Amino acid sequence: MERSARDTDTGGRGIRTEQPADGSARGVSEADVPRGTSPEQDTPYLDALRAYAGRDPGRFHVPGHKGGAAAEPSFAEAVGEGALALDIPTLTRGVDVGMEPTPFQLAQEVAATVWGAKRTWFLINGASQGNHVASLALAHAEGGEVVVQRNVHSSTIDGLVLSGLRPTFVQPELDPELHIVHCLTPDALAEALDRTPNAVGAMVVSPTYFGAAADVRGLAGVAHERGVPLVVDEAWGAHFAFHEDLPEPALRAGADLVISSTHKIVGSLTQSAMLHLGAASEGRLDERVVDRTVTLVESTSPSSLLFGSLDAARRHVAAGGREMLDETIAALRGAHDTVRALPGLDVLDERLAGRRSVAGWDPLRLAIDVRGTGRTGYELGERLFERFDINLELVGENVMVAVFGMGERATAQVERLVTALRGVLEELDTEPPPEHPPFAEPPPWGPLAMSPRDAFLGPQEVVPIGEAAGRVGAESLAAYPPGVPNVLPGERLTTETLEYVLSTLEHGGTLRGASDRRLETIRVAVER
């Protein structure tokens, strides 16, 4: 008797399969699935989806739109019949269930080969899922502590809450002029690991939002000398492996686990990502543990469209990534001189690679220094949007960031951005600049009084911000700029930190992590 496939909790990973003795369970033969001339040119998972849809099968399963036949008309028109036809459930024979390796398994195996990983997992909850997985996987080791770069993504902090790991935070290099953070130095990591003897791993970020890449090879050496794995949040560096003018990719530099937000530059659909296990992970990370934690934080109804987009993006970058990156890099090199010719503007570039913590620079990020205009990036970014419908990736007090992808006609995009910048600056030239009090450097964070998990999930109450000093925070406060978390769950709140965050808000900054974004109140732990 066959199993009830749709009730089997494999999360669509295509790992546990069963087949009748006559081998007929797949419903589609290997000959039905198109193949390229080499594994890197194949898209086994996407091809299997297309083969399934092309047969016009009886869809007596979810989702309820039935491949588009029952979809709401305006939505069907917006996304197209082709996309809806490929939206199929997990555990579909010939796609992720059947004779092994299934097309889903093959797609991940090819991705691992292309990126140089020991094993690769497709993720459908973004790089955030990868950060959750990393914390949960590290928590399997004895020790319960982890060294964490202070400016990690908020999803890493969520991973600490989920896993119960107790962090030792280490400060990256802060740029006192630009008020942005750069990377972590190997010396800083070594010092933090040495004062955390029970650490089960180290979690770092490279590259940064602004394009600075860390000395991952040096960081890996420090971690491995102390017998712990190095986890690198390389969300912004999925393209590094495909051009010699880009920073060394973390996997090649010896990282044990790498989180890769494939959709950011390589071009899969938003919310899709990959998690790579490095060849250096022998004895430090168990791939079976990582696989188990991937399943734990993944929907049991993952999107075939997200998976298919990862398969297609992998082929796209493997087949033509270098040529596409050539075009984008050349366009942005020309953009540097053009932007610098505009009054008051400068561009961050590889010259920052001479700083202590910066080993390389990503040229696909156009980071514009606006200090010479007498205006903030907040004001310029708002005017760019209102006047020219220009939407930047990030705006801050001193720096605005425009992100470019591969093969997107970068020359035309640069021209559009430069035209808009010129127009905004000409408008501002007729207006007196407002007074902008300078931002101070953030004060040291408070001591960790309890684990992030205990603070976030334990008894808590809401108190006025004026009464919060001395209490233990139950939520995160990250004032931008510079974007380094000022308060994390479990840290004791200080008057200096709270005043800094409030001052940042008054000067036009923003706040992440707080339930009350105006910071009139804050959630604190009830200590017993």
What burial letters (b/e) apply to 15-26, b meaning 16+ CB within 10 Å? Answer: eebeeeeeeebb
Q: How many CB atoms neighbour CB 446 within 10 A?
A: 22
Instruction: Determine the pLDDT at residue 162.
Output: 94
The one-letter amino acid at 249: P
pLDDT tens-digit profile of 378-434? 899 999 999 999 999 988 889 999 999 988 889 999 999 999 999 999 998 777 766
What string of H, E and C letters represents the secondary structure of 18-44?
CCCCCCCCCCCCHHHCCCCCCHHHCCH
Instruction: Determine the pLDDT at residue 457.
Output: 93
pLDDT tens-digit profile of 190-199? 999 999 999 9
Q: Which residues contact 396 (CB under 8 A, 6 or more apart)?
A: 179, 180, 376, 377, 378, 480, 481, 482, 483
Instruction: Determine the pLDDT at residue 38.
Output: 62
**pTM score of the predicted model:** 0.89
pLDDT tens-digit profile of 250-268? 999 999 999 999 999 999 9
Cα separation, 149 vs 153, in Å, equals: 10
**Residues of CATH 3.40.640.10 domain(s) within the chain?**
108-304
Pick from 362, 461, 431: which is nearest to 402 by CA?
Answer: 362
Instruction: Determine the pLDDT at residue 483.
Output: 60
**Domain 452-525's class?**
alpha beta
What are the beta bridge partners of residue 347? Answer: 368
- Domain over 322-428 is classified CATH 3.90.1150.10: yes
- Parallel, antiparallel, or unpaired: how do β-strands 166-170 and 145-149 relate? parallel
Pick from 108, 147, 131, 318: which is nearest to 235 by CA?
Answer: 131
* 97 φ/ψ angles, rounded to the nearest 5 degrees: -140, 140
Q: Which residues contact 526 (CB under 8 A, 6 or more apart)?
A: 458, 459, 460, 461
Pick from 207, 158, 176, 189: which is nearest to 481 by CA?
Answer: 176
Alpha carbon 324 to its chain centroid, in Å, reads: 22
Q: 68: left (phi > 0), else alpha (psi -120 to 50), else beta?
A: left
Q: How many CB atoms neighbour CB 484 within 10 A?
A: 20
Cα separation, 143 vs 197, in Å, equals: 9
Is the separation of the CB atoms in 493 and 475 below 8 Å?
A: no
Q: Which residues contact 333 (CB under 8 A, 6 or more apart)?
A: 363
Instruction: Determine the pLDDT at residue 28.
Output: 40
Instruction: Determine the pLDDT at residue 442.
Output: 75
Q: Which residues contact 198 (CB under 8 A, 6 or more apart)?
A: 143, 144, 145
Cα separation, 221 vs 214, in Å, equals: 13
The string of DSSP codes covering 341-390 is TSTT-EE--GGGGGSSS--EE-TTEEEEE-GGGTS-HHHHHHHHHHHH--
Pick from 315, 234, 312, 303: which is nearest to 271 by CA?
Answer: 303
Task: Tell me the angle at which helices 377-388 and 410-428 cross, rounded to the nearest 10 degrees.
Answer: 110
Helices (H) and strands (E) in the chain, counts: 15, 19
Instruction: Determine the pLDDT at residue 39.
Output: 61
Cα separation, 94 vs 249, in Å, equals: 34
Cα separation, 34 vs 407, in Å, equals: 26
Cα separation, 261 vs 63, in Å, equals: 27
Instruction: Determine the pLDDT at residue 352.
Output: 80
416: burial class by Cβ within 10 Å (0-12, 13-18, 19+)? middle
Is the separation of the CB atoms in 415 and 409 below 8 Å?
A: no
Q: What is the enclosing helix (H) or strand (E) of 325?
A: helix 304-340
Instruction: Determine the pLDDT at residue 121.
Output: 98
**Residues of CATH 3.90.100.10 domain(s) within the chain?**
452-525
* Tokens 């029952």 belong to residue: 70
Alpha carbon 504 to its chain centroid, in Å, reads: 25
Cα separation, 106 vs 112, in Å, equals: 10
Residue ranges of the chain with per-residue pLDDT less than 70: 1-40, 433-440, 481-483, 508
Is the separation of the CB atoms in 111 and 133 below 8 Å?
A: no
Pick from 403, 425, 424: which is nearest to 332 by CA?
Answer: 403
Sign for the pseudo-dihedral over CA of 54, 304, 234, 225: negative
Instruction: Determine the pLDDT at residue 304.
Output: 95
The string of DSSP codes covering 104-141 is HHHHHHHHHHHHT-SEEEEESSHHHHHHHHHHHHHTTS
Q: Is 464 helix (H, G, I), strand (E, B) or coil?
A: strand
Q: What angle do CA 142, 144, 147 make, to 5 degrees?
A: 115
Instruction: Determine the pLDDT at residue 204.
Output: 98
CATH dotted code for 108-304: 3.40.640.10
Q: Is 265 helix (H, G, I), strand (E, B) or coil?
A: helix
What burial letters (b/e) apply to 314-349, b meaning 16+ CB within 10 Å? Answer: bbbbbeebeebbeebbebbeebbebbeebebbbbbb
Q: How much of the chain is in helix, strand and coil states, percent to nearest 5?
A: 40, 15, 45
